[in-house]
Amino acid sequence: MKHRFSKIIALLMALCMFATVFTGCGNTSTDTTGGTVDVNAPTATPTTVPGGDNTEDVTGDATATPTATPTTAPGGDDTEDVTGDATATPTTAPTAAPTPTTKPTAKPTATPTTAPTATPAPSVQDDQIVATYIYGGYDRLTEADLKKLDIIYIAFGLIDEDTFEMTFRRENRLQGLTELRKKDPDTKLVLSIGGWGADGFSQMAKKPENRATFIASVMSFLDKHNLDGVDIDWEYPVTGGDIEHASNDKTNFTKLLQELRAALDERTASDGGKMLLTIAAAADSNYWEESINVPKCIQYLDYINLMTYDFAGSWSYETGHHTNLSAPSSGNGWWTPANAQSSVKYAMDAGVPAEKIILGAAAYGKEFSGVKSSSNNGLNQEYTGGCEDIDLNDIMDLIGKNGYVRYWDSKANAPYLFNGSTLISYDDAESIGLKAKYIVDKGLAGIMYWDYAGDSEESIIINTARDYFDQH
């Protein structure tokens, strides 16, 4: 039972929060990096900074027009205002929190201090998931991170295009991961099969005997390594991506998931519970219209990992955000206005329940070089030097160095770095905190990110998301 004094303190805190709302908090990022600037702040007279130390007044460029005008995708106006708590989210990497001895217990969803533009339904997901894909860097997983993760997706199994059996090239490196998991048996280890450019799905799924061979090899692998389920990362049925595809992939995908579910239900997970079946899904609306039969498939799936990243990259004609939560003022230079909130809407409109959606984040950035103009602080500008991926850990080391200034786009709810010629779009503690808030407000299943090895030494993504979920 709570003491009367605690109730008084809670009342005083609520009054303080009420007062804060009416004094205008929320839209301007806290400058703790020595160079953070809100690019959507109202136009004001520039303030001269003594010594010119890595901080700029960029308000004059906030309305800069992109070199090329992107086309607008449907659903772009359906984003929600989640910036009400932005000032509560740290802009610098949090220090690692003490490792909990057990997973957090279920808790009610906290009411946000400011109402979003569109009021979400009450959360039906009380204990949000933190998940990661791990690709090769198995020996880098720490016990502290393990105990804050609910699902670890082991990437990637592949399909032998001759035999249709599942193959896994790093099998000899799995033992260390499965041994570490013994320190926290509640963490699920799930085999992820596929990935970008991984062929063989269409050929395997089209015949019952091929599916049976594939599923038998998968179940044998799970049994051998005491794993807890399967994640299918088929990129993509019907539309292809970069692999062979066919018009009947959509039907065969349903059959594959149905048969995988049946085989998994004959087994139990390492903790004695249900074996998981998940998929990785594209973030655009076409996926739900063309690649998957949601009403039929959703009954077989525990979660859908929504790949809300790579909104911009080497294919873009201009620089842009690649994993932004909300719609940016301008496009992402390819597919406009790409953002995580619209991607969630596409999935839910197709019939995916909120409690089965795991939102994607990125432990890597997109580094655009040879940016042709400093207008809008390099955002939405043409570039000539290409675009490469860069780990979040390396990005954090660049802030305040080599002329890099961190900018915060309060429209997109996303940070970026710019030094006059190179722009880096990425996720950090502030953007992850707002994604976590959106997940709780919307009642989504949780957050996942690609991939574990790219996160900072302070495990920004895991710690920020886990801490927010524990507190709300």
Annotated catalytic residues are 235
> What's the CA dihedral at 69, 46, 88, 439 to 10 degrees?
0
- Using CA atoms, how far apart are residues 97 and 76, in angstroms rounded to an integer? 37
State how far the alpha carbon of 446 is from the alpha carbons of 167, 180, 232, 251, 395, in Å: 29, 23, 18, 28, 25
- Using CA atoms, how far apart are residues 7 and 99, in angstroms rounded to an integer? 29
**What does the DSSP assignment read for 9-41?**
HHHHHHHHHHHHHTTT-SSS----SS--EETTS
Which tokens in the block code for residue 42?
A: 């109202």
- Using CA atoms, how far apart are residues 244 and 37, in angstroms rounded to an integer? 45
- Using CA atoms, how far apart are residues 34 and 391, in angstroms rounded to an integer? 22
- Using CA atoms, how far apart are residues 464 and 361, in angstroms rounded to an integer? 12
2 C-beta neighbours (distance < 10 Å), count: 7
- Which residues make Cβ contacts (< 8 Å) with residue 19, sequence separation at least 6? none
Which tokens in the block code for residue 133?
A: 């894909």
User: How are the residues of the chain apportioned to helix, strand and coil, as percentages rounded to the nearest 5?
Assistant: 35, 15, 50
State how far the alpha carbon of 346 is from the alpha carbons of 126, 180, 181, in Å: 23, 38, 35
134 bridge partner residues: 154
**What does the DSSP assignment read for 366-420?**
EEEESBS--GGGGTT--BSS-EEEEEHHHHHHHTTSTT-EEEEETTTTEEEEE-S
- Asked if residue 213 lies in contact with residue 165, where contact means CB atoms within 8 angstroms, the answer is yes
83 C-beta neighbours (distance < 10 Å), count: 22
Phi, psi of 304 (to 5 degrees): -120, 120
Q: Which residue has the tokens 């592949």?
A: 158
- Using CA atoms, how far apart are residues 427 and 416, in angstroms rounded to an integer? 8
Which tokens in the block code for residue 221?
A: 């692998």
- Asked if residue 243 lies in contact with residue 198, where contact means CB atoms within 8 angstroms, the answer is yes
Cα angle value 114/411/72 (rounded, 5°): 125
Would you mind telling me the total number of residues written for the chain in this entry? 472
- Using CA atoms, how far apart are residues 181 and 261, in angstroms rounded to an integer? 24
